[in-house]
Amino acid sequence: MASSKVFYSDLRASHRQNLMDKLTMLMDHTGIRDIVKPRSLVALKLHFGEKGNVAFIRPVFIRHIVDKIKELGGVPFLTDANTLYAGSRSDSVTHINTAIANGFAYSTVNAPIIIADGLRGASISSVAINQETIKVAHLAKEIVESDILISIAHFKGHELSGFGGTIKNLGMGCASRRGKLDQHSGLSPKIKRKKCIGCGECINHCSQHAISLMEDNKAMIDPKKCIGCGECILICPNGLIDIDWGVDMEIFQKKMAEYCVAVLRNKQDKALFINFLSNISPACDCYGHNDAAIVHDIGILASRDPVAIDQASVDLVNQMSAAEGSCIKKAVNPGDDKFRDIYPKIDWNVQLRHAERIGLGSKDYEIVPIQAG
Ligand code: SF4
Ligand code: SF4
């Protein structure tokens, strides 16, 4: 497959050209004018951040993208699908309230929020894709119904896929709760019980009440109640909760990439992908906190290829030195794999390799820096 163009803006700015100007240039280079048609309903898929997390993309950037779409005659709305776990985004009402609390009010972003899978996640569009691990994908309906899709991903580490970028924003982020459950269904966390001190942290955190303390004062997960959300893995202060990373992780990442195929099925030449490489936190924005960034802010990428943009993003992060005071232990030098340092058992390459194999895009890319005006 030929290499794909990934347009890149660093974060340098001047009185002649600020970051909004550069974001406009990125969208223009990526061909947003060819994508957005007058009166088309344009879904801007982003993550509003869990309550307490502050690593998500600043609303002012989203407003700039909204205004650009309106200028082209499109009708934008901000969207995400409800979460599988019971946090501050698990139904549409709390989800919108959290988004507004995090700065995504209409008065700031100039567009409404529509949670794509309905009040409690039952608004589903099922798409047959007949892939290796997913035959039928259950997507959030309003994303399927939209005319145009613009993925705006905060690039960061991720406890289940190594990193999270465009593929995760689309594959997992556009899935309905049923679809998310499908993707997590192979994940079965286990507790190393011998070392458990019975502190109860995991019990308090599990939204499904799947963990309980047994008579020996050690925690145990009930596999019948566990939905495989993975939220408990990072919570145990002693790191005693684990999954079968070899098998489970490979299938999880494959499923995520295949869901991405479903999301883009009716969006041929109607989708554009933007990754923000800033506040690159070690874990997902689904947590109610974000640890210090693992590298300095890098910039903004835009592409028409969801695989190329994620490959370029992970490479750019790994080319950096680790940020001082971050959680990175050994991979401190340029070229060291920062995500493998945080999640030694997760081969993040799986999502990229599989996405390329099933025709989502190309791992070969050409970085095209946008020229300063
Ligand atoms: S036990 Fe862990 S993976 Fe299972 S539902 Fe609870 S938090 Fe999620
Ligand atoms: S958080 Fe860890 S140590 Fe505490 S009860 Fe759960 S498994 Fe045991």
To test the ligand 1 pocket, which listed residue (159, 209, 211) has its Cβ within 8 A of the most ligand atoms? 211
For residues 170 and 202, membership in a common domain is answered with: no
* 180 CA to centre of ligand 1 in angstroms: 14
Highest average pLDDT, of 42-51, 203-212, 363-372, comes from 42-51
Report the Cα–Cα distance between both ends of the chain, in Å, rounded.
33
What is the domain-level CATH number for residue 68? 3.40.50.11440
Ligand nearest to the CA of 181: 1
CA distance 85 to 122: 15
Residues in the chain, total: 373
For residue 150, the 8-state DSSP code is: E
**Which pLDDT value is given to residue 105?**
97
Tell me: do 52 and 163 sit in the same domain.
yes
On whether both 112 and 194 belong to a single domain, the answer is no
User: 176 and 284 share a domain?
Assistant: yes
Same domain? 128 vs 68: yes
Final residue of a domain: which of 226, 242, 258?
Answer: 242
Tokens of 290: 């974000």
Is ligand 2 within 6 A of the CB of residue 236?
A: yes
Per-residue confidence (pLDDT) for residue 186, from 0 to 100: 78
| Residue (of 209, 312, 307) closest to 264 by Cα position | 307
Per-residue pLDDT, 155: 98
C-alpha to C-alpha distances, 114 to 77, 86, 108, 121, 262, nearest whole angstrom: 7, 19, 16, 12, 20
Distance from Cα 292 to the centre of ligand 2, integer Å:
24
* Burial zone of 39 (CB within 10 Å; 0-12 exposed, 13-18 middle, 19+ buried): exposed
Among 116, 87, 117, residue whose Cα is nearest residue 102: 87
| Number of the ligand closest to the Cα of 201 | 2
> What confidence category does residue 362 fall into, taking pLDDT thresholds of 50, 70 and 90?
very high
User: 180 and 210, same structural domain?
Assistant: no
Whether the pLDDT of residue 232 is over 90: the answer is no
Ligand 2, atom 8, lies closest to the CA of: 196
Q: Which of 24, 14, 69 is nearest to 370 (CA)?
A: 24
Find the ligand nearest to 202 CA: 2
pLDDT (mean) for 29-39: 96
Radius of gyration in angstroms for the set of CA atoms belonging to the chain, rounded to a whole number: 20
Ligand 2 contacts CB of residue 219 (under 6 A): yes
Residues 232 and 206 reside in one and the same domain: yes
Atom 6 (ligand 2): residue with closest C-alpha?
202
Q: Which of 200, 218, 242 is the last residue of a domain?
A: 242
**pLDDT category of residue 88 using cuts at 50, 70 and 90:** confident
Same domain, yes or no: 233 and 277: no
Q: Which residue, 207, 242, 277, sits at the end of a domain?
A: 242
Asked if 11 and 66 sit in the same domain, the reply is yes
pLDDT digit string, tens, across residues 336-357:
999 999 999 999 999 999 999 9
Q: Which residues of 291-302 are buried (b: 16+ CB within 10 A; e: fewer)?
A: eebbbeebbbbb
Per-residue pLDDT averaged across 145-157, rounded? 98
pLDDT at res. 181: 85
Residues 90 and 163 in one domain: yes
For residue 287, is pLDDT > 70? yes
Are 237 and 286 contained in the same domain?
no
- Beta-ladder partners of 219: 213
Count of domains forming the chain: 2
- Give residue 192's domain range: 188-242
My answer on whether 198 and 156 are in the same domain is: no
Give the residue among 169, 189, 188, 171 at the shortest CA–CA distance from 179.
171
